[in-house]
Amino acid sequence: MNERIYVGLTRYQWVNGQFATTYLLSVQVLSGKDLPQDLTYDRIPRSKYVVFTYIGGFHARNLTIKHLEQMWKCIENRRDSYHQSQPFHFEVINEDHVTEEYCEVEIYKLPEKKVE
């Protein structure tokens, strides 16, 4: 388990006709074997991802949803020939790249070419 890398997994689904998200605080592990009883694992497909990076002038512990909303607006307003192919995305913060005055958050999405 790499305790210096934070992973936040968000899954999307329709529940009773309404769009819902599930956010899972996560860590990166090499295997689902030998995990403590109260933990489960989820396998993310190995693939090529589109990665968006948010850079802030503050420590990652001060990151809020407002900061990420700015980034999501930019992502959603992009005009290109791809869209998200799977009902999830994940965020990664590597604490080795964080200081009191700097943070990076990478958002990973699986792309798929739009059919027109």
Q: Which residue has the tokens 């990665």?
A: 51
Q: Along the 116 residues of the chain, how does pLDDT read in single tens digits?
A: 678 899 999 998 888 888 898 888 888 888 888 888 888 888 888 889 999 999 999 999 999 888 888 888 888 887 777 778 888 999 999 999 999 999 999 999 988 887 76
pLDDT at res. 94? 93
Closest of 3, 46, 53 to residue 25, by C-alpha? 3
- Check residue 115 and give its pLDDT: 76
pLDDT of residue 95: 93
- Cα–Cα dist 85/98, whole Å: 30
pTM: 0.81
pLDDT for the residue numbered 76? 82
Q: How far apart are CA 16 and CA 97, in angstroms?
A: 41
